[in-house]
Structure formats: C-alpha cells, structure tokens
A and B are shown apart, each in its own frame.
Chain A
Amino acid sequence: MDRRYFIKQVLLWSAGISTSIPSFRIGPELLAAEKESPVVSHGKDKNYNELVSRVLKPLGGIGKFVKTGDRVVIKPNMAWDRSPDQAANTHPLVVKALAEQSLAAGAKTVMVFDRTCNEARRCYVNSGIQQALESINDKRLKFYHPDTRKFVPVNIKRGKAVNRLDIYRDALEADSYINVPVAKHHGLSKLTLGLKNSMGVLGGNRGNMHHNLGQKLADLATVIQPKLTVIDATRILLRNGPQGGDLDDVKVLDTLVASADPVACDAFATTLFNMQPDEIASTVAAYNMGLGEMHLDRMQIIQA
C-alpha cells in the first residue's frame, strides 16, 4: 500500500460520511437569512404623542409608510367596551398621533375602524378613541363603523387552515395599512398582538377562527399585510384578557414597539411579557410561512 493509494481509499470511503443528501428545500431559515434583518424599534416615554414619533424615527419616519395621496387605514384594537386605563383597547393618544402624522404626511384619506366584539358604539366611545379623533379637525380623517355591505369574500390562496374569509373592502384597498394593536393577555392564544388584531377586518362568524387560531391568523396575514405595525404597550394586560376590567391586571410600561415586519414586531413584543416568541402559535405559523422574522437575534432591535 503506497501513500497515494491510501489517501485515495480514505477519501473514497469517507465520501459517504462527509457528503449529505443534497437538499433543495428552501426553509424559512434560509429565506430569512437571505433577507435583510428587519428593524424593530421600541421606546419608552410618558408622552405618547412624542413616543410615536420617536419609535418611528429608526424606521425612517411616517413618510416611509405614508406617501402623498395614499389611502391609509389605521386599524387600532377597540373591540371592547372598556376605558383606556383598563388596557383592553389601543390607547387613544397613540391612535391620534398616528392619524395626525399620516395626515401631515399627505394622506388622501385616513380611515380608522374596527369590527368590535362588544356593542360597536359603546366601544368607539368608551375606548376614548372617538373623542381623541374628533379633536382632529380634518375632513380627510374618516372614523366610522364598518358597513355590513362592504365585507368581500377573499380567497386565501396560501391558506393552510382557512381558504376563504370575508374581509373589509377598505382594508384590502388601502395603499397603506397601519396596524396598531394593544399588547395584552389572551386565554387561547396566550397573547394578542399584531396578527390577532387583523381579525378586526373580518366579517362573518369570527369565532371559527379560534379553531386552530395560530395557523388561521398566519393565513390571514398572507392577505392583510400591514406596511407598519405599532404595538401599543403603554399599558399591558397581564391576566383576564382580552377584555380585562380589573386595574390590578394592568401594568403600565409606557412603551411602543414598531416595525415594518409584522412577525418581528409581535415576536419582540412577546418579550415584554417575559415570554419567548415561539410560545405564540401565530408568530411561529407566520414565520414558517415566510411572512417575517421571529428570531430576536436576527433582528436589528433599536431602542429609540
């Protein structure tokens, strides 16, 4: 046995060990790795109006998301007949600041609505959002109740758990859709964040979404893709969500989280509850569908 023969034999025999089966599946990990890592901005301030500008700055400001002449939808969570301090709805000042900034950025119309869980008028009034928006004197701002005629059936082509949903027309036709959920506890999904907030544009029997909620929310996220997500964690509900009602369950954080990546935004906000992103089924399902990043170490997290 000469040296040359030995080396040849070693290489040949070890070839089967060192070479694995070639893989042509592009997993979400790979997809995410190819993408630029998303920017998630968060900040803390008692002045919520200023805080909105601050967390948007690292993302390029509102001008990055709202262009002149855009039809903008701002979708807060105002599903419950609860007051702002009870932390069941998005804080009115956050909604107001976003509406004002969108108008200032030259939006053609700014539409604000939600399909509520409690009686619609009570939710609009008692969330404080109606009063906050009425103080903006601008005809381009439209704050209204969804019109039952305007829910259109949409095929969810990429849907794994649901393939057809009734979705509000204005949400589908918007040039810029800004999702402004409130971060809070939820019995079934553990937390309700950005993806869950998109349920407010659905018509029909929304209760059916709850059977395999995580995947269905991810399916919905393939159709409702906000340009910007601003998660309101100015005060968060720790227990008895998503309705709340007991101030002992509320923790004041004075925090906002914003990102152009809806999944990353949810993932980071999860940590505010001392939980990990992979504990939230919708985050994981959306990540697996390639809708955004969920790994904190692959985000650019910027404290604004």
Chain B
Amino acid sequence: MKKKGMKLRRWRRSSQVLSFFLFLFLFIKTDYSGSNELSYAVNILFRIDPFLALSASLATKTLLALMWPSLIFIGLTFVFGRFFCGWICPLGMLLDGAHNFIPPADQVNLKRFRPLKFYLLGFLLIGAFFGLPAAGYFDPFSILVRSLALAVYPALNVLATSFFTFTYQRMPEWINMLTEPIYTFLKATILPFRQNHYELAFLSFFILGAIFLLERLDRRFFCRSVCPVGAVYAIAARFSLMRGKSGTKCGKCRNCMDVCRMGAIDEERNISPLECNLCMDCVDMCPGNKIAFGFQQREVAQPAFALSRRTFISSLAVGATLPFFLDTRTMAKRPDPYLVRPPGALPEDEFLGRCVRCGECMKVCIGNALQPTFLSAGLEGMFSPRLNARTGYCEYNCTLCGQVCPTGALEELTLARKHLTKIGNIYFDKNRCLPFAKGIPCIVCEEHCPTPDKAIKFREAQVLNSLGEKVLVKQPYVIDERCIGCGICEAKCPLPGTSAVRLTSAGESRNPQNALPTQSLPY
C-alpha cells in the first residue's frame, strides 16, 4: 500500500517537472528561428488560462476564440479539481521547489487571507468589464513570463557572456579550448541570440521575487490567498467529481494537516476541494492509509474559511467604480505622444483590455524594440508593450509579436498588411540633426529607411558649418504618407543620447483621432 502511494506522489512530481521544462522549452522557442513563422504554440500557457480568458472576454465584451484551450482545463477541473495547481502550474512547481530554501516567518493567523483571492477575482473581472484592465498584475503566468523575459533571461546572458569574455580575454589557450566550445554550445541551445535590455527589468523581477517572499508566511501562500487563476479553478473544483476523502476512523495524528501545502485539510480531516491541488502528499503520509482520492462523494466539505458577502460586494463595487476615474486623467484626452504601440495593436482601450502583460511580444521582438510601458499609459497600463525606438526598432519584414500575442491584443498581421500598418511617424529635430545643425554630412536615417520607396528623402542644401565655411550637405526629411513608424531611423541615429529623429504615435492607423494633416490620401 505504501509503495502505491509513493508512486502517486512521484507521478505528480514528474508531471510538475515535465510541464515546467515544457514551459521553459516554449519560452526559449519564443524567438525567431530562421523563418518568420513560429513553429510552436509558444503562448499556450496563456491560452489555457481561464482567468485571462474571462478577463479579456469581459473587457472586450466578446468571446475570444483564441482562448478556447482554457475551456479544456476548466472542463478537466470539473472532473479532477484543482489538479492544475498541483500538477501543471510552472510557478507552483517553482514555489514547491524553493520552499525548503525559504525560512518560515513567525506564525500569524493567515486564514483570514484565504478569501482574498475571491475578492480579488471579483474586483479584477468586474473591473475588466467596466474598463480597468489589471488582470496582468496578478496573473501568475504574466508575472512569471514577464519576469523571466525582461529580467532573468537577459541576466543569465549577462552572466554567461561576462564569464566567457573573462576566460576568452584572460585565460590561457588551453582553458579556452574547453570553455569556447561550451559557450558555443550554450549559445546554440539555451542562451538568447543577443543581449536584450529592458526597462522595468528590476521591477518585473521584484514582483516575482515578492511571490517567493510570501512563501515565508505559508506554503504556497500566493496560490492559497492571491492567485486569481487558482480562484477560478477553486470555483470549478467546488463541483469536481474526484475528491480526496479520509476514512472514518484514524489516530488523529494530523500528519495530513501538517503536510498539506494548500492548507486544505481541517481538524476533522475534511479535504476542501476548493483548496486541494491533488499533490497526493497526504495519501503518502497517512500512517493508517486512511486517505484516498475517488469519485464517490456524498457531502462537500466546507472550505476552511468563510467568504464575507459584505467584503465581496465591496470589492465588486470598487471594481465597478474605479474605471470611471480613469477617464478623468489627461491621457484620456491626449495620450502620451511617445507611447507607440506595436504593429497590429488594437485601438487603445480594447488593446489594454485584452493585453495580459505577459511580455511574450517583448521576448520575441527581434529588434529589442518592444519595452514594458511604465506610467505613460496610466497605472493600469504598466507592462503593456510600447516601441522604444532608441533601444531597438521594428524589423520591417517581421510579424512575430502578433503571432505570440495570446489574446489578440496585437492582431496577427500578414506581412503585406504590416507593411501598410502605420504605428507612428517621425520628425526631425533640426537643432540636433547634424546636416541641419552643424553642416556635417550624415543621413544614416535615410540609408536605413526600409520602405521600398524611402519615407526619408534628402535635399541638398548649402549651409554654414561650425567653422563658418559654406558646405553642401544632404538634409533629410520625411514623407508622412510612406513612413510606417518602424523607428529604425531613431535607433540608428549616430548622435549620442537622444536621437535627432524621434518617433511619435502621430498618424497611427489604429487611431483616427491621431491623423496627420495631409494634402493627399494616405494609403
């Protein structure tokens, strides 16, 4: 009997490890791989997330077809309970793995935090409906992938590069014979192709770190009390067919209570299906082999906490009221002109409603152009993608960001459509631009401009340089009708610091309010 129990637990662990490595594999594969089409469904983790599906659907008041895989997991939860949290969730696996290394804090009464996740879920969903998109702040996968993409993975590359640069530059030849093949191998397999740099890297990492710190309070504190995905699964698991149950008589050793990572077992050894994530530890630990999981259930055990109707209604009320304050801000009247959204981005409200802040687009962006927004889209727009044309630019023939977006906040564009999608427009700062300001020849911007008929052209002009000499230089100018706002000119501008050519959202296709003055019809 004991042996059989061990097997169950081992199955669970294997499943956790397997899905974690599958997750890492897909994370690394969220990259250009020699063709513009991605070969794996790299965003699947987000598309099986019922909370994000609900939230994005409520925000847009449509059923998001892209999110259909989440129905599978909801369906499975009606049968097996919160197995996802125990067997699949990559963040759960990390927390389980890290638990032994995190010293516990002093015991406090934590039960009162239990209902928090339901209040939070209510707040987030009703907020999404009325126009406060904040799901990505609390969704565990958004937090995890964002942190990995923006902080952990680039940091890993810094670590590897600095180590192998040290060996390359300082170590004797025979050590290089060993280290260089290792570096080549790592680069070909797990390391990113290039060193990316991200805004908010530290903040993204800190939010993930905070979840690990919460582990000090209690095992799986985040999963028990905060996780909105867990809350959705808990509601479904309330009706699940398969449950844990304990035998009638036992020695009351309470091993099961102590060992339960979710705190799902009460004094009477009732296992709450709302909390139980089927880790199977109690089955293993019960000295009398009294606990088993099965399909015959008569009564549902009460959850180990009480949901306060008053608090729940209050959180709904807050969620329904707050959105109306958002439109009182200046950005509702005039958005930040430097907030340039990726190609295929829906109109701003719908875009923010759908965007789950997962960071997939920033991970896959081969130009390192997509950056997490800080406050320029409002507090609720934090971590949504924007194009920073100084760290990178939008590659003309690339459509990867639209392919990885799990919710369609970025539409999947064909290449032909992308070439006609204007995300912004550039202007020249003639006080800084060399041929205007100093009479120095340059036009690197014109060279890089990718539209077949260049959007940046130049005129020859005679100007005085800083020595007072008359010189003939080529001065760039932009043809608005052709500029699609890729930002390569700003990225490649050789001036130090701020570029002499700046990209703004002016003229972006998705917002007619932002149209540029024209004399002829744009395309």
Point out the residues of chain B lying under 8 angstroms from A205, CB to CB. 494
Measured CA separation A46–B35 after assembly (Å):
29
B474 touching A211 by the CB < 8 A rule?
Answer: no
Q: Does B12 contact A (CB under 8 A)?
A: no
| A236-277 contact mask (Cβ, 8 Å, vs B): 1 or 0 | 000010111110010000000000000000000000000000
A188 and B440 contact, Cβ closer than 8 Å, known pairs A119-B32, A121-B193, A210-B494: no
Q: Which of B434, B447, B453 contacts A211 (CB 8 A)?
A: B434
A121 and B448 contact, Cβ closer than 8 Å, known pairs A126-B397, A211-B442: no
| A208-219 contact mask (Cβ, 8 Å, vs B): 1 or 0 | 101111000000
| B388-413 contact mask (Cβ, 8 Å, vs A): 1 or 0 | 00000001111000000000000000
Point out the residues of chain A lying under 8 angstroms from B453, CB to CB. 240, 246
A243 and B395 contact, Cβ closer than 8 Å, known pairs A121-B32, A187-B458, A213-B441: no
A210 and B169 contact, Cβ closer than 8 Å, known pairs A240-B453, A240-B454, A245-B452: no
A81 and B193 contact, Cβ closer than 8 Å, known pairs A188-B447, A211-B441: no
A243 and B494 contact, Cβ closer than 8 Å, known pairs A121-B34, A122-B397, A207-B442: no
| A115-139 contact mask (Cβ, 8 Å, vs B): 1 or 0 | 0011111100110000000000000
Majority secondary structure, B binding face: loop
CB distance from A64 to the nearest CB of B (A): 33
Measured CA separation A243–B493 after assembly (Å):
16
| A187-222 contact mask (Cβ, 8 Å, vs B): 1 or 0 | 110000000000000000111101111000000000
Q: Does B297 contact A (CB under 8 A)?
A: no
The residue in chain A whose Cβ has the minimal distance to the Cβ of B365 is A119
Point out the residues of chain A lying under 8 angstroms from B193, CB to CB. 120-121
A122 and B494 contact, Cβ closer than 8 Å, known pairs A211-B440, A240-B452, A240-B454: no
Point out the residues of chain A lying under 8 angstroms from B440, CB to CB. 211-212
The residue in chain B whose Cβ has the minimal distance to the Cβ of A206 is B494
Q: Does A108 contact B (CB under 8 A)?
A: no
Measured CA separation A122–B36 after assembly (Å):
9
B168 touching A210 by the CB < 8 A rule?
Answer: no
Point out the residues of chain B lying under 8 angstroms from A245, CB to CB. 450-452
The residue in chain A whose Cβ has the minimal distance to the Cβ of B457 is A187
Q: Does A186 contact B (CB under 8 A)?
A: yes
The residue in chain A whose Cβ has the minimal distance to the Cβ of B434 is A211
| Tier of interface size on chain B | 35 or more
Measured CA separation A140–B168 after assembly (Å):
22
Measured CA separation A117–B458 after assembly (Å):
20
B169 touching A149 by the CB < 8 A rule?
Answer: yes
| Tier of interface size on chain A | 20 to 34
Q: Which of B35, B164, B442, B448 contacts A117 (CB 8 A)?
A: B448
Within 8 A of A (CB), among B487-506: 492-494
Point out the residues of chain B lying under 8 angstroms from A213, CB to CB. 441
The residue in chain A whose Cβ has the minimal distance to the Cβ of B458 is A187
Most chain B CB within a 10 A radius of its CB, from A187, A242, A244? A187
The residue in chain A whose Cβ has the minimal distance to the Cβ of B442 is A210
A208 touching B494 by the CB < 8 A rule?
Answer: yes
| A269-299 contact mask (Cβ, 8 Å, vs B): 1 or 0 | 0000000000000000000000000000000
A187 and B34 contact, Cβ closer than 8 Å, known pairs A208-B494, A213-B441, A242-B447: no
Q: Does B150 contact A (CB under 8 A)?
A: no
Within 8 A of A (CB), among B395-447: 395-398, 434, 440-444, 446-447
Point out the residues of chain A lying under 8 angstroms from B124, CB to CB. none
Query: Can you sample 22 A-B contacts with CB below 8 Å?
Result: A81-B397, A118-B396, A119-B395, A122-B366, A122-B397, A125-B35, A149-B161, A149-B169, A186-B447, A187-B458, A207-B492, A208-B494, A210-B441, A210-B442, A210-B444, A211-B440, A211-B442, A212-B440, A240-B452, A242-B447, A243-B454, A245-B450
Instruction: Give 7 A-B pairs besides A120-B194, A212-B441 with Cβ atoms closer than 8 angstroms.
Output: A81-B395, A117-B492, A121-B193, A188-B442, A211-B442, A243-B454, A245-B452
Q: Which 6 A-B pairs have the closest CB atoms?
A: A207-B494, A245-B452, A246-B452, A207-B444, A119-B366, A187-B446
Chain A contacts to B: CB under 8 angstroms: 81, 117-122, 125-126, 148-149, 186-188, 205-208, 210-213, 240, 242-246, 249
